[in-house]
A and B are shown apart, each in its own frame.
Chain A
Amino acid sequence: DAGVIQSPRHEVTEMGQEVTLRCKPISGHDYLFWYRQTMMRGLELLIYFNNNVPIDDSGMPEDRFSAKMPNASFSTLKIQPSEPRDSAVYFCASSLDALTGRETQYFGPGTRLLVL
Chain B
Amino acid sequence: RKEVEQDPGPFNVPEGATVAFNCTYSNSASQSFFWYRQDCRKEPKLLMSVYSSGNEDGRFTAQLNRASQYISLLIRDSKLSDSATYLCVVNTHGSSNTGKLIFGQGTTLQVKP
Instruction: Please report A residues at the B interface, Cβ cutoff 8 Å.
Output: 33, 42-43, 45, 48, 50, 55-56, 91, 97-100, 103-110
Whether B101 is near chain A, meaning CB under 8 Å from some CB there, is yes
Whether B100 pairs with A56 at a CB distance below 8 angstroms is: yes
Whether B97 pairs with A50 at a CB distance below 8 angstroms is: yes
| Bound form: Cα–Cα A103–B96 in Å | 13
| Bound form: Cα–Cα A73–B31 in Å | 29
Specify which chain B residues have a CB less than 8 angstroms from the CB of A107 in the assembled complex: 43-45
Whether B106 pairs with A42 at a CB distance below 8 angstroms is: yes
Chain B: interface residue count, which band? Answer: 20 to 34
Whether B100 pairs with A45 at a CB distance below 8 angstroms is: yes
Contact among B32, B44, B45, B102 for A103, CB-based, below 8 A: B32
- 7 cross-chain pairs, A with B, having the tightest CB-CB distances, nearest first: A107-B43, A98-B99, A42-B105, A43-B103, A104-B46, A100-B32, A107-B44
Interface of B is mostly: strand
Specify which chain A residues have a CB less than 8 angstroms from the CB of B55 in the assembled complex: none
A43 in contact with B87 given A98-B93, A103-B99 (CB within 8 Å): yes
Whether A100 pairs with B103 at a CB distance below 8 angstroms is: no
